[in-house]
Amino acid sequence: MTPNRRTLLHAGVSVTATLASASLAGQSGARDPRPPKLLLADDAESCAAAAQDFGHIIQRPPRAVCKPSSSAEIADILRWAREQGLKVAARGQGHATYGRAMAGDGIVMDLSALTVIHRIEPDRVVVDAGAIWHALLEATLAKGLAPPVLTNYLGLSVGGTLAVGGIGGSSSRHGLQTDQVLELDIVTGEGVELTCSRSAHAELFDAVRAGLAQCAIITRATLRLMRAPERVRRYLLSYPDLASLTADQRRALDEARFDQLQGAVVPDGAGGWRYQLEAGVFYDSSSAPDDKTLLAGLADKHETVSDLAFGDDANAFAKLEKLLRSNGQWFNPHPWLLSYLRGSNALEIASEVIAGLNSDDLGPFGRITYYPMFTDSCRTPLLRLPDERIVFPFNLIRIPSSADKENADRQVARNRCVYDHIRSAGGMLYPVSALGMSSQDWADHFGPRWPLLREARRRHDPAGILTPGYDLF
């Protein structure tokens, strides 16, 4: 959005005359005579960019895009949009896969100008919601600290992952990124600026974390930090089938052998699959891990794939990103399906789903993420997981080698069938998936937590302007 393209939209989206600003801090109803400092772009280039996401499946051009630089501007925009009857979606890095950060004929609020890291203390960091995890990690590592849970890819925004959950290799120990939040600054759908935490506006705190941006936009987060390990050694263990992979994964989990335990089923390049356990051990240079003890009794076929400084290890996905950008596959459709299986039937359900797939369904760089994790530390109320101590993230990470739209539509339709199967077996959706969900589907998904979200929406976004891309209400 270049300055000469920025326009105050007096026509069509008339701004200045019609703003009814509820005053801040909840005194709704009071009028603020100030004209809003709203810089909206309605040029074709800005709108086309906001009509796309990483999924490249849904296109919904907004009427305009804005790029607020403060919480107060976000509040102004929301109050004004509400008056105009316009929907609003926050956009972090646009890595959603199914239009969840879009607002067809509404306003997309690009948060990429809100990136300040305000304060780093030994146990916490205060950061703007538009900041990218990579930048946050770099800043905390300079002080020997790190967020306890990092996603596998660090090019995501803080607000974008807190809106959905944020799972990573350490989630078995620490829960999700939403479990690391101490405090949030937010602006509700009514344009009210608030700070919420476990002890202040607790119901909003619970409705916003993993709440799919239905009640408020996050502007700033206070997140837990821990001492960063110096290095990470990574192992790859290979198996002939899913059953033997699952058995070793469960054993490694039970015995807490590794600091990070993940795994995947990946195309072997000849029409079949490779089954692999992926594990990482944190260490300081004074005490290198003992490979023999760590791997004793697990698969014969194993290798050490990397031994890197903690920051380099956390950023390892950047290599694949570079490759996919250079071969064009980063820009192809990504009909991903992300879910959690119950530990008690994960092997059975995953086997059934995988039997119905072929490697072309995933693409040469695609994979099926599959590994067990403990749920003890997962406490975010709206993050839905099967009700068992061990669950298996089970993700169809489809990276097609072509941009074929019909293929993408077919995969989205398959996602629906796979999801129905998983759901009927007690599994849960991770809502960053590419598939259509009705309001009833969402009510079923949130189950006993649905009233929490519905009530928060009713109270804090009564006009229902926020984040239409999920079709929740």
Ligand X SMILES: Cc1cc2nc3c(=O)[nH]c(=O)nc-3n(C[C@H](O)[C@H](O)[C@H](O)COP(=O)(O)OP(=O)(O)OC[C@H]3O[C@@H](n4cnc5c(N)ncnc54)[C@H](O)[C@@H]3O)c2cc1C
Distance in angstroms (rounded) separating the CA atoms of residues 334 and 397: 8
Question: Smallest distance from the beta carbon of 132 to ligand X, in angstroms?
Answer: 8
Check residue 151 for interaction with ligand X (CB under 6 A): yes
CB of 225 to ligand X, least distance (A): 19
Nearer to ligand X, 128 or 361 (CB): 128
CA distances, 61 to each of 83, 110, 464 (Å): 21, 14, 19
Q: Between 160 and 366, whose beta carbon lies closer to ligand X?
A: 160
In the bound state with ligand X, the residue whose beta carbon lies nearer, of 289 and 394, is: 394
CB of 353 to ligand X, least distance (A): 20
By residue count, the chain amounts to 473
First to last CA, the chain: 31
**Both tokens assigned to 134:** 């990579």
Comparing CB distances to ligand X, the nearer of 295 and 378 is 378
Token pair of 253, please? 């989990």
Q: Least separation, in Å, of the C-beta of 13 and ligand X?
A: 19
Q: Please identify, using beta-carbon distances, which residue of 50 and 236 lies nearer to ligand X.
A: 50
Residue-wise over 146-158: b if at least 16 C-beta within 10 A, else e? bbbbbbebbbbbb
3-class DSSP state for residue 82? helix
CB of 322 to ligand X, least distance (A): 12
Q: Which of residues 49, 50, 64, 101 is near ligand X by CB under 6 A? A: 101
- Binding to ligand X (CB under 6 A) within 325-384 occurs at none
Distance CA 362, CA 344 (A): 26
Q: Based on CB atoms, which residue is closest to ligand X, 201 or 289?
A: 201
- Whole-angstrom distance, CA of residue 134 vs CA of residue 137: 5
Q: State which amino acid sits at residue 139.
A: A
Q: Is 453 in the site for ligand X (CB under 6 A)?
A: no
Residue 205 in contact with ligand X, rule: CB under 6 A: no
Considering the complex, what minimum distance in angstroms separates the CB of residue 296 from ligand X?
Answer: 29
Environment class of residue 447 by beta-carbon count within 10 Å: exposed (0-12), middle (13-18) or buried (19+)?
exposed
Q: Does 94 bind ligand X (CB under 6 A)?
A: yes
Contact between 157 and ligand X per CB under 6 A? yes
Note whether 100 binds ligand X by CB under 6 A. Answer: yes
The reply to whether 228 sits near ligand X by the rule CB under 6 A is no
CB of 321 to ligand X, least distance (A): 7
Q: Residue 308, Cβ neighbours under 10 Å: how many?
A: 16
Distances (CA, A) of 467 to 304, 378, 395, 453: 43, 25, 24, 14
Residue 435 makes contact with ligand X by CB under 6 A? no
Distance CA 243, CA 451 (A): 39
Binding flags for ligand X, 163-192, as an x/- string (CB under 6 A): xxxxxx------------------------
Residue 160 in the binding site for ligand X (CB under 6 A): yes
Residue (317 or 348) nearer to ligand X, CB: 317
Q: Which is nearer to ligand X, 219 or 249 (CB)?
A: 219
Q: Choose among 358, 355, 337, 357: nearest CA to 347.
A: 355
Contacts 24+ apart (CB under 8 A), 386-391: 386/340, 386/341, 386/342, 386/343, 386/426, 386/427, 386/428, 387/426, 388/342, 388/343, 388/344, 389/343, 390/250, 390/253, 390/343, 391/340, 391/341, 391/342, 391/343, 391/346
In the complex, least distance from residue 90 CB atom to ligand X, rounded to whole angstroms? 4
Q: Which is nearer to ligand X, 139 or 324 (CB)?
A: 324
Could you list the residues that contact ligand X (CB under 6 A)? 53-54, 89-96, 100-101, 111, 129, 151-153, 156-157, 159-161, 163-168, 213, 217-218, 432, 467, 469
